[in-house]
Amino acid sequence: MTTREQAQAWDRDDALASHRALFDLPPGLIYLDGNSLGALPRATPERVSQVVRGEWGQGLIRSWNKAGWVDLPRRVGDKIARLVGAGAGELVVADSTSVNVFKTLHAALAIARQDRPGRRLIVSERDNFPTDLYIADSLAREQGCTLLLVDAVEQLGPLLDDGEVAVLMLTHVNYRTGRMHDMAELNRRAHAQGTLVLWDLAHSAGAVPLDLHRDDADFAVGCGYKYLNGGPGAPAFVWVHPRHAGRCTQPLSGWFGHAAPFQFTPTYTPAPGVGRYLCGTPAVLGMAALECGVDTLLAAGDMQALRAKSLALTQLFIELVDQRCAGHGLALVTPRTVHLRGSQVCLSHPTDAYAIMQALIARGVIGDFRAPDILRFGFTPLYTRFVDVWDAVDRLEQVLSSGAAREAVT
Amino acid sequence: MTTREQAQAWDRDDALASHRALFDLPPGLIYLDGNSLGALPRATPERVSQVVRGEWGQGLIRSWNKAGWVDLPRRVGDKIARLVGAGAGELVVADSTSVNVFKTLHAALAIARQDRPGRRLIVSERDNFPTDLYIADSLAREQGCTLLLVDAVEQLGPLLDDGEVAVLMLTHVNYRTGRMHDMAELNRRAHAQGTLVLWDLAHSAGAVPLDLHRDDADFAVGCGYKYLNGGPGAPAFVWVHPRHAGRCTQPLSGWFGHAAPFQFTPTYTPAPGVGRYLCGTPAVLGMAALECGVDTLLAAGDMQALRAKSLALTQLFIELVDQRCAGHGLALVTPRTVHLRGSQVCLSHPTDAYAIMQALIARGVIGDFRAPDILRFGFTPLYTRFVDVWDAVDRLEQVLSSGAAREAVT
């Protein structure tokens, strides 16, 4: 059984350990919820203050050009592109993930109508993140399509092989289970039958290595406030493969997606490429904070190194839970197979999941409860230490063996 | 002719003069562009820093509840509601103006289809702000409607009387001319024929008194970063009359518009009322800054007092330009009739408008140039002084009489 001293030794040997100092973390807290809201980079407060006091307060309207605000969606987009295997100029920061799902799914359906007329099927998973399903359902109704939700991953392949699916829309790493799809294989199987694939990278970007070009994705959206550390409600991002980006417009045709917004022409001419996926005036404060967050990942140099540590962290957590928490009714939800695992571990408990998480939080370990029975723990290799994993399981075992969970909710 | 001393005397007597101290304005600058980007409230940097360092950095995920992030769209919305004559719970802060035009126009068309089946006409003005037209054009194409743009305000009434218009979509104060519509009269004339009216309040909210209920509007959207002083790219707002708010959903059905977002159900149940016009996760930093900006207006107590000063400022500017800048080719674009005037004054120059604005900016007077021939000056009674108006015209006269405009672009 791994001892606390062993975990501390791994931290000493960890080439990424120094990156924890890039973050301003509350002392004594074990934060295993960076997959809900990433931690605060130390650079962010000063940068945001500079934008507020200097660029806005003193520069005022001039800062749209002088401080480069007008370029923020593309500049920060180019940085995120490096994390997901996209090219420069292919990815922009804009709006929320939900809004970007709407834009890209709408565009994918428009392209499917051109290339595969008559196809009316959108496929996703029933336990996909709800906002994606809500948006897909709205578009399906609007466009006379059918949204088909599968209950098991294994159903996807045969469905794709039928050759009737217009668009497959998946979240790469499932928010409830931490299970990761094989992006390359699903894209290949979809494309073999002319199906387009839209990926939500909310739990992947900044968490696992991605290569949208190598894996031949069609569309992708992602979240700024989870592993990208962009802050609460940070703007989201949207990527469109260059083969699709200029083929159609998307319906949220706001002025920032115009080819020349400041000519104020009454008719819409879409910007070339992914620029047409911009809509309204960019959220400058949010984008400035997001840039600081993305910089913390670029500073780590290589998603492969982050991935190796992430797997070591989740593996240690799983092993310690196996060893120390057996007999208390917990079950592992996240796959043991490493290539199916994102950067989180989920456990289920038939009756006490909520109470256990409340008791853990009271003991300084923050994870998530997801109804009805899931305990979710996110591991962010930039700032999670091996000793944090050890201590978290130690406190989990205390909670389980002491009956503290029952007390926490009574 | 008004002297500089007279203008200074008016500032001494101005009951709103002390509110200028609520803003952090660059020394020596005459800022007549608060209608593009409002100035920085002094309270904002500290509040944003508190959100970043405290609520995010220390509170982390817990702040969604403990710091009330989850309520921000409604809390700040209720404050804006007080400025526009809307009731509590009727207005939410969300997304951008462009995105909110999409939501509300889509909803208005859905209701028109129910109540007036067969109507396919959306009417607006050709010189409406382009993003509104781009979105309307997109929706018109998508839904098989026609977007009809009028060139003169006088065409609107007869068009409405024909009884074939589904939705009239107008910006209350025109961004290029400063002309203000008679909201009550247009709503009355539209409703007499069963036409719904959607108002863009981008240049009205915080600038002129509004009473959406008294004037019986149907839908309204507005901008956070102009007269509301919310900062660059601040979130926008959306209001729906209670008689319409529950009648249909809008297509951007993201999880924050769900009746119970944190139950994570796979099917969408819209929140009651205007809550269903929320979409993705709220932009917390932007909303916190926006709340500070809205507070500067609420501190002034009464939009009528702000309106009186606004009209005095624009009147003085017009009179001084008449008196001191005659013979240089400038023409007044904004109506002289006060009830047709927003809180800005626009001048045109047949050849040198861009050069004149560049020369003025070089002399510390910031306004806007709008192609091809418009000089636009915004007057924000919370922080614009009468002496600023006097000095601005003084420098304009210097620019015109010295030929400095020609030099500025050569």
* pLDDT digits 0-9 by tens, A244-260: 999 999 999 999 999 99
pLDDT level of residue B301 (50, 70, 90 thresholds): confident
Examine the fold and report which residue of A298, A319, A349 is the final residue of a domain before the chain moves on: A298
Q: Tell me, yes or no, if A226 is annotated catalytic.
A: yes
- Are B271 and B278 spatial neighbours (Cβ–Cβ below 8 Å)? yes
Domain assignment of residue B62, yes or no: no
- pLDDT of the residue at B82: 98
B254 and B208 within one domain: yes
| B332 bridge partner residues | B347
Mean pLDDT (chain A) is 97
CB neighbours of B210 closer than 8 A, spacing ≥ 6?
A: B83, B84, B85, B172, B183, B201, B204, B303
Task: Please report residues of B whose CB lies closer than 8 A to that of A102.
Answer: 251-252
Domain assignment of residue A126, yes or no: yes
B201 and B189 within one domain: yes
Mean pLDDT, residues B77-102:
98
Q: Is A285 on the interface with B (CB under 8 A)?
A: yes
Domain assignment of residue A63, yes or no: no
Q: In this complex, do B137 and A267 lie within 8 Å of one another by their Cβ atoms?
A: yes
Q: A368 lies in which domain range? A: 4-41+301-408
> Which among A102, A133, A232 has CB closest to B56?
A232
| Tally of domains in chain A | 2
Taking the CA of residue A104 and the nearest CA in chain B, the distance in Å comes to 13
pLDDT in tens, A213-234: 999 999 999 999 999 999 999 9
Catalytic entry in A20, A74, A226, A341: A226
Mean pLDDT, residues A170-193:
97
- Are A171 and A205 spatial neighbours (Cβ–Cβ below 8 Å)? no
Taking the CA of residue A58 and the nearest CA in chain B, the distance in Å comes to 5
A394 and A338 within one domain: yes
Examine the fold and report which residue of B299, B327, B347 is the final residue of a domain before the chain moves on: B299
- pLDDT of the residue at A410: 53
Domain assignment of residue A213, yes or no: yes
CATH of the domain at B375: 3.90.1150.10
> Which residue bears the tokens 């975990």?
A7
| Three-point CA angle B224, B93, B114, nearest 5° | 115
Examine the fold and report which residue of A245, A280, A298 is the final residue of a domain before the chain moves on: A298
User: B residues 162-191 near A, CB within 8 Å?
Assistant: 176
pLDDT level of residue A145 (50, 70, 90 thresholds): very high
- List, as one string, the DSSP characters of A231-293: -TT---EEEE-HHHHTT---S---GGGBSSGGG--SS--BPSGGGGG--SS--HHHHHHHHHH
pLDDT level of residue A301 (50, 70, 90 thresholds): confident
Q: Tell me, yes or no, if A370 is annotated catalytic.
A: no
A380 and A290 within one domain: no
B322 and B277 within one domain: no
Interface probe for B, chosen from A22, A281, A346, A380 (most Cβ of B below 10 Å), is A281
A162 and A19 within one domain: no
A250 and A208 within one domain: yes
CATH of the domain at B263: 3.40.640.10
- Are A365 and A395 spatial neighbours (Cβ–Cβ below 8 Å)? yes
User: B residues 10-29 near A, CB within 8 Å?
Assistant: 24, 26, 29
Task: Please report residues of A whose CB lies closer than 8 A to that of B202.
Answer: none
B314 and B280 within one domain: no
For the ranges A170-174, B14-18, B298-302, B374-378, the lowest mean pLDDT is seen at: B298-302
Is a pLDDT exceeding 80 seen at residue B410?
A: no
- pLDDT of the residue at A408: 60
Domain assignment of residue B96, yes or no: yes
Domain assignment of residue A62, yes or no: no
Q: Which helix H or strand E contains B6, and what residues bound it? A: helix B4-13
- Cα distances from A266 to residues A254, B151, B300, in angstroms, run 12, 12, 36
> Which among B61, B99, B289 has CB closest to A33?
B61
A343 and A250 within one domain: no
Domain assignment of residue B61, yes or no: no
Catalytically active residues of B, by annotation: 129, 200, 225-226, 376
pLDDT level of residue B408 (50, 70, 90 thresholds): low
Nearest in space to B105 (alpha carbons), one of B151, B140, B77 = B140
pLDDT in tens, A51-109: 999 999 999 999 999 999 999 999 999 999 999 999 999 999 999 999 999 999 999 99
B232 and B343 within one domain: no
Taking the CA of residue B384 and the nearest CA in chain A, the distance in Å comes to 15
pLDDT in tens, A17-56: 999 999 999 999 999 999 999 999 999 999 999 999 999 9
Domain assignment of residue B52, yes or no: no
pLDDT level of residue B409 (50, 70, 90 thresholds): low
A325 and A276 within one domain: no
Interface probe for A, chosen from B134, B262, B290, B296 (most Cβ of A below 10 Å), is B134
AA identity, residue A150: V
pLDDT level of residue A403 (50, 70, 90 thresholds): confident
B181 and B112 within one domain: yes
